[in-house]
Every structure is written in C-alpha cells, then in structure tokens.
Structure 1
Amino acid sequence: MRKIIHADCDCFFAAVEIRDNPSLIDKPIAVGGDADKRGVIATCNYSARAYGVRSAMPTAQALKLCPDLILCKGRMDEYKATAAAIREIFFELTDRVEVVSIDEAYLDVTDVAEFQGSATRMAQWLKAEVVKRTGVTISTGVAANKFLAKVASDWQKPDGLFVVTPDQVEDFVIQLPVGRIHGVGKVTEEKLKRLGIETCADLQQKTVKQLTEWFGKFGLTLYQRARGEDYREVVTERVRKSVSVERTYSENITRQDDLDQALDRLLPVLARRYQGYEDRQIRSVFAKVRFADFSSTTVETAFGSELISSVSSTESSDASAEGLSDIVADKQAEYSVAWLKRALFYPLMQEAVSRGSLNIRLLGIGVRLRDPAGPSEQLSLFPE
C-alpha cells in the first residue's frame, strides 16, 4: 500500500505578501493586475474570498464585490524563492516529489523510515517546518493514492491536515461531488448532472461501458475515481542537489556539551539520508546555525582530495588503536559517524557558532552533491 502526501500552500502569493507585511493580517487582500488595465486576480486570501473574490476574476469585478480589497502587485521573484525553500523541505523527507505547480506537490513517502514510517507524522512535520522556515502555511492530505491525497488536502483548508486511511476510502468517496474529481470541469460537471450524476455514489451506479460511451477514455478515469482508485505514480525528474538534516530546539542550546550532543544526534540521521547517493560526488559539506535573535549563518567548505587525505590518515591512526579489523558492521557505521564529526562537521559548526553567540535555536548539517554527469572519480563520504 502506497503512502502519498499532497501538499498545497494556502493562498500562496497572498500568504507571502502577508508574511512580509504583517499589517495586512485579517484584511482582504489579493495579488493581481490593476483594474484600469484589465487586470485579473492571481490569488486572494480567505478574507477576500468571503466577499466572493476568486482567482482569475477581473480585478474590476473583485473591487465591486469588495471595495476595501487591498491589491498587491505580484513579486514573482519572491514567490519563486519561497517556493524553492518549501520544495527543499519536501526533498529533505523524500526524493519522490512531483512538483505540480509553484505551490503544490505530491510526495511518495512509502519507503520513508523516519517518523516510524507514519505518513501522518511526516505531514505534521512538513507543516511545522514549512511555516517555521518560510512563514507560509500549507495544507496536507494523506492517502494511498494521488487522487485521494489531493482531495484530502483541500478538506480542512487553510492550514489543514486530513488523512484518508484505507478502511475509510469507501465511505469517504461516496459523499464526494463529481466536481472534486480532477479533470471534471464545468462542462463535464454539467453533462454529468444532466445524466443524474452529482456524486461519486451516483457514478458508482454506472458501468464502464456507459461512462466510456458518454465520455470516451475519461469514462474509465471517472469509473476508477468514483471508487477511490488511482494508479498514477508520483513522477519526479529532479536531480537531488543536497542531503541535509536540521532541527529547531524547544530550548535554546547554551552549553558546549549540549552542542556536541546535538551534533551527535544529527549525524546518524544525515548518514541514513545519504544512503542511496554513494555513487554521487560530494561537492561540499556545510553547517547551519540559527541564533536566538533569529539571525542565521551557514559555513561551507569544498569536499576534495586534500580533505579526504587528511581524514584517511586520521582514520588509520584511530583504527590501529581500536583494532578496526575487529569492528563489526554496525560498529563500522558508528565509527564513520565519529570521524565525520571530528574531521568535517565539528570544525564547521564551531566556525558558525563563532559568528554569533552560544545561544542557538536551530542546527543543521548537510552535503551538496555534484551533477551525476560530472567526473567519474568518486570521493566517498564514509570510509570503507
């Protein structure tokens, strides 16, 4: 059984405008073109929607419906930057990410072992991390396929999380209006209504033969969606650029011993996330710190042959003292983490901390990967 999360930003463009100008909170706002230039609304917040304002509506009409509407000019560069930051959070969880639009994506988390494999807990983490790092809320839906996950993400908007478990599918889909099925536009919805079909329960009463006669190939899709079936895979063409892990702490780190322990806990997580990328060259390693005053700094260093050489020589000395030949596989993994801390991330973390004070709310470490088409020589992150 697959585990799919659909993530959708809430009123994305408007949310970014409110984030950057908090005085707009609770006021009806929209992002769009000027009314005197035949502009249209790109998006609006829920306060504006209460007046009937909608995306793709002419700005002039929107202003008639809501005279107090605050119109913001679009800042696409800022929207793209925020969307990129959100996608990076998605890719911290899984590589199986299908970006549908600037503010929407599917994640296949079937094989993700973190959070004890719970897709619900993963969705909770995504929501918390996105709002923490970008100031934008997302709604998420969790289900066994893309169709159900997308419907679920819209079920409790804004800032919602809705889960459709396998045993709930039958009861969930029968209540759905046919307009909830992706691909059913106004024309198709009207045709379905003329045939006496308004809900998925009504659709279930029709045969595949009837539906394909009426709607061609789309008839099979209607037949399947009415039963909560969707066999589409999450498709991604993205090449991952980095592997990282970061944590925000409920109590700030103010002691060196606590900093060391926090790094000890981050490294095994990074090691697990790195699995499967051993054939990719590492371009650099980095450490990130966010201080109590919310200022942040990142320290990065190239990962090259000189660094590998120094790591290898240090490792050989330690291995001789500890008897590396006697270390079993699980101990070898622990040993790898030990030298990673000493040789790579500990110095970077100390440099980052020196740029502020030992009063830290967030720590992060990671590696940046070279393009797969790069040189064939591979410098391994972990020693053999």
Structure 2
Amino acid sequence: MASRSLVINEFLYYLENNWNLIENETFINNISVFYIHEDIVNAIKLLKSELNNFKSEKSEKLRSRGNMKIEKILECISLIKQLKENKCWDKCPLFVSCNLNKVPKSENLLTLNFETIKLELKDILHKQQVQFNKVIETVENNKADIISLKNVIKTADINKPEVNTLKNKLNSNVVSDYSTEMTNKEGQNKNVSSSLWSDIAKSEDNSTPFSTVNGETSNNPTNNKQTGKKTAMKIIGKKVSNDCKLKADKILMKKSVFCLSNVSKCHRNDVMAYLTDNGIHVVSCYPILKQLNKMAPASTADVNNNNNSQTENKKTDEEESSTFRVCIDSSDSKKMKDPDIMPQHIIVREWQFNKKPETIVDQTKKDG
C-alpha cells in the first residue's frame, strides 16, 4: 500500500477532524469568522487539483457558489463530499497543521459565539431604541392636542349641571307651551262654537246671556252590558274531616262525554259493567236510538201529553242499541281513549254538543 504524502493546510485539517459537524450552521458560522478568506480559497484550490488528478468519470461539474466566506466553505465541503463518494479521499494526501494557533479551540469558538450574540443583541436593542424614540416623538407632537382635549373634558364636566338645568328649563318651557297651546285651542273651539250659534240664530232678547249646557251622557247599551257583566268568584273546599257535621250534598267532579258506536246491540248495563271492570268511573250511560218520526210543531195536545213522553223515554233507556252516550269522570278520559282497553272495531269519539236533538237534551240535564 503506497504511503500518503503530507500537505500543510490548517483549514482542511480542522474540517477533516470535525467532519461530523459540517451540517451544523453554528459550526460553519464560527469557522467563517475564525479563518480568513485566503485560507478557504487555498483549500479549494488543493481539492480541485486532487480531483483533476484522479479524473473520475463520476465527478460532477463544479458550480461556483459565490465570493462570501460561508459560500466558499460550503463549496469546499461539497468537494470533499465528492471525493469521498468516489472513494478517492483515502488516496489524497494527509492534511496537517504546523501552526496550532490557526486551529480553533472550543474556548475560542465559545468566545466567538458570545461575540456574535453580543452583536445581535446590540442590533436588537438599537432597533428597539429607535422605535421607542419614534413613539416618544409622536407623543411629544400630540402633547398639545392631548392637553387641549383634557381642557375640553374638564370644561364639559364643569358645565354638566348647567346643561342639566338648561335641559330642565327647556322641558318645562315645552310643557308649559304645550299646555297653553292646548288651553288656547280649547278657548278657540269654544269661541268658534259660540260665534256659530250667534250667527245662525239670534235671540229676540239680546240682554239675556247664554246658558251653559252640560254634555250629553252616552247611553250606549253595549257599555252598560259590559259594566253589568261581573264574574263571581267561586271557591271549592278541599278540607277532609270525618267529625265535621257540615258536608257536601254531592261530590263534584269534572265530567267528559263520549260516544260509543259500532257496538253489537246490547243493554246499557253491559256497557257500564265493561267500563267499570276496566277502571273507568261511569256517571251515566244511555242508548242512542234513531227517530222514525220527524219533529212536528208544538201543539196543545203535545203539551198535555208530556207525562206520557217521559214514561216513553224511560222505556227507551232500557232498550238495546248499537250506539251509546257515556258520561265518565274526566280523570278516566285517557283510559276511555286507550285502544288497548276498548274491544276490537268499536269506535270511541268525544261527544259533540252542537245541534242537540230534543231526546238527548233531557238526558244531559239528568247528567248534570
């Protein structure tokens, strides 16, 4: 194996020994500050000559990056990468250093970092100082406007009670003017009416003055009806006591009326029994029968036969029918409307109280 020659170049020596840091931006910035431009250019020349000596077919065309030190350092790093990729770096001479002062130490790098940080901080503080000075200038320029605005506010605060008194005076003047205007209008109306009466008809005796006439009271029947209607307040007792002698004559309850139709002909007792078995409190149940004879005008004979008609109604109540009028407690209305309780195909609907036939009026009176 042929021995490698030695070439003195502190920059390439430092790069080779710190190759793992080439991707670090702070490392590149530090060495750009430490080394001068000539050291970097000489290292590029050495690498290009070595690359030309090997004349590798895989070598790419080199591109000049620029004249800045950082750009030159990046160009030098790209040349070393190309030699290593072509496996020519081990055949290149060894780069050594004869002057250790040209090789940066870690302490030197720290001092360089601190110097750059100081410069950056100074730059930032300078920019902030400039902005602060601009703010002070704007405040000084607007100081006169601020003082004048404060004076305006103070004068406004001082004049607030005066403004309030002026407002009150203005409101009182407006009210008084309005009242005087209204009184003047009333006086004008009176004068106009009196002049009209005098123009139309003159009295024979002018010495007698006009007599005052009171306004007519309105006898509107609707107003009398409205004032006459007064709803009386009704209170229903709730106290339950077994020892009290004062008791209600009958139990009050809210009632609901339903119509059961499409029922196979049966007696009303059968309907009441079925409903009570299902927990429905039935107040009354009457059959609905078709009227064969049309209603005739009332006569003296009909009036005399009222007792006979009442007995006939009692007989019809006991007849079988397919439609029934059922009066129940309102609290059981949900049960009455429940299709699971009612037999199949039986129709249940609420009773319509408009257009009542005379045969049903008597029954509604009985139900209360």
TM-score range relative to shorter protein: under 0.3
* Greater Rg over alpha carbons, structure: 2
User: What is the TM-score normalised by the length of structure 1?
Assistant: 0.16
Higher strand fraction (1 or 2) = 1
Higher helix fraction (1 or 2) = 2
